[in-house]
Structure 1
Amino acid sequence: MSTTDAATPETLPPVSTDSDVAINAKPMAEPGFYDSLASSVLAGETISREDALAIINASDLDVPAIMAAGFRIRQKHFGRTVQLYFLMNAKSGLCPEDCSYCSQSKVSNAPVPKYNILQRDRLMEAAKLAHERGAKTYCLVISARGPNEREMNAVESIVPEIKAKYDLDICASLGLLDREQADRLFAAGVDRINHNLNTSENYYGHICSTHTYEDRKQTLENVRDAGMEMCSGGIIGMGESHDDIVQMAFDLKELGVHSIPLNILNAIDGTPLEGTQAMSPNDCLKALAMFRFVNPDREIRIAGGREIHLRHMQPMGLYVANSLFVGDYLTTKGQPPQADYDMIRDMGFDITTNIEPVAR
């Protein structure tokens, strides 16, 4: 979402009374409840699903206590560092899948650019921009069920060149992958593969029919077995239950994913989920915190939709999350990079490029 000029006092809008900002005034938890949960996690214990659900169902009045407790976990594993990622939409539109949230799917009428995989020069220009913006990881994304041979060849060709010139880690998001394709990508120098679970297995049929939750899990297992890191998260706010969000958090834990991008649905006009009610900032923060409690030592990234849903509470998300996308997303705008740099600095955090390389 692009920013606008600051409003003058004469043009300030009235205070919103919409339901998406109404306070959830459930009774507060007992004093010390969330801090006790954090202490258990820091001692190496796994919180129960009931406790995870308690976090996401909590009163909005508990949010400060939840974030403070979650920060203790984040602090142990990541200190005050923030990792930046840069997304490149290397192939847009033209996807045969019917994912309801996606503006590039075959069931979307959203006016998005449509083009096949970009030529080398465009991909290198984007890598240069990623480097200049302080990103450590360059995310190369195509819209597809899975990569065809031409797309595989393009990725295999460009990855070594990008890494040699800009010393960027490469995360590729190419759709469904078989084991042979995963092996080839590892050999080409790809560090991570992104393939989101998106939601729980129970809810998956509500958002996609052209492939299954099990297909996505199999791709992640192929990635893991090939020797690459798994980047996998999901989208919240698609009409799923809190139980579904908790289930996804535990599924990611059980898979052992290394990096978890958590998107908040941007209900793009022209997609089947157009008009879906926005999540409140407090609900977003509680979900982010729950993921940190369940996956204490995993990178958690505030991904697409943060500008729309967290709004002025974006900085609070960094108390539990430790990475961000800098710049735009696939078909939607992010806030200007300088706004992210300022936010990170004002929070007293540091941008880091220290990620251990994948063993080869």
Structure 2
Amino acid sequence: MQQPNRLIPYYENLHFEQQDSSMIINFGPQHPSAHGQLRLILELDGEKIVKATPDVGYLHRGMEKMAENMIYNEFIPTTDRMDYIASSSNNHAFAMSVEKLLGIQVPRRAQIIRMMILELNRIISHLFWLATHALDVGAMSVMLYCFREREWGMDLMEDYCGARLTHSSIRIGGVPLDIPDGWLKALKNFIDKLPEEVKLLDGLLKENRIWRIRLEDVGVITPELAKSWSCSGVILRGSGIQWDLRKEQPYELYNEVEFEVPYSNRCDSYGRYLVYMEELKESARIIEQLIEMYPKTDSLIMAESPQYLSAPKEQIMTQNYSLMQHFVLVTQGMRPPKGEIYCATESPKGELGFLIHSQGDPYPYRLKIRTPSFFHTGLLQDLLPGHYLADAVTIIGNLNIIFGEIDR
């Protein structure tokens, strides 16, 4: 009897040379050190990795197609679920992309609030990375200290928007809320203490013999390899390339604040660790300047564009035309001009960008997302061979991959 045709997954066509000393294993997708739904097909010669094939897709999301069936404002809470360790960075990248499509300018106060949230998200994300990476390598005390600091940062996010993990804290055209009473003081206390906490973490790790043995000369990414895989963020800067979109293509008010772009010529996992630690200090430095800039702005936190954006709540509750306009925008959605744009931002993981193709409908005709973790996962097939199996755990953790932004 003839067997029915079936779709053969691509990994069934992978061919490995079978030798007596070799072994093929699956690392993940259930392995906790895979940091998500990553399946690595590894060919080992003893404990040395000979060949590595990343296999993604276990979340079954279809997020880009979901965006094409939602009005623009509806998609913002969905972006929270991409890099869920720094949700606001996703909200911001999408909102800024739509603003570029609409051609609207965000008020200055909203830009300052956005930048505070983004840098606070960067601190929260980097602390989470260090906690999980250190735990993978065996440093449990570091994980406890990092999570303590991260909780204080998440308390600030909760005080602002009411959520700790999936924030939905940024809107197309601005921000939904002004800063509550006492929030700036609490934020100032947090960033004043942060350098001392970073010094504590550095004291536990920087000269730690085991930490250095596990990270030094492990996962070396040369500048050529980094550029060939379109690496970005700390992965690129850890390979000696001083590239940060906040400096090279400034958005919001990043051209008005002073900060350095840390980088390392070491190109290994230890060099990337050093870059992460310096970035924590630079984010605190940016926030400190934003706190001083905030009182010098007016109270407007949303752009004024009646064709695309709802009026302030006070007008909706008191003016009939504003109420009618709000009803249409909520039920039918805005109708942006026809065109195609790409907008990139510097998320905690690297370059996060949205490509939107509009046909003038209330929802995108096509939407594509450029996420850093996707490229950094593909890099594993060139990066892992030649290392030992134990080094695979170090390298995966060091690359700071989040699978919520890969399986889209």
Identify the structure with bigger relative contact order (alpha carbons < 8 Å, sequence gap 6+).
2
TM-score of the superposition, structure 1-length normalised? 0.27
Higher helix share goes to which structure? Answer: 2
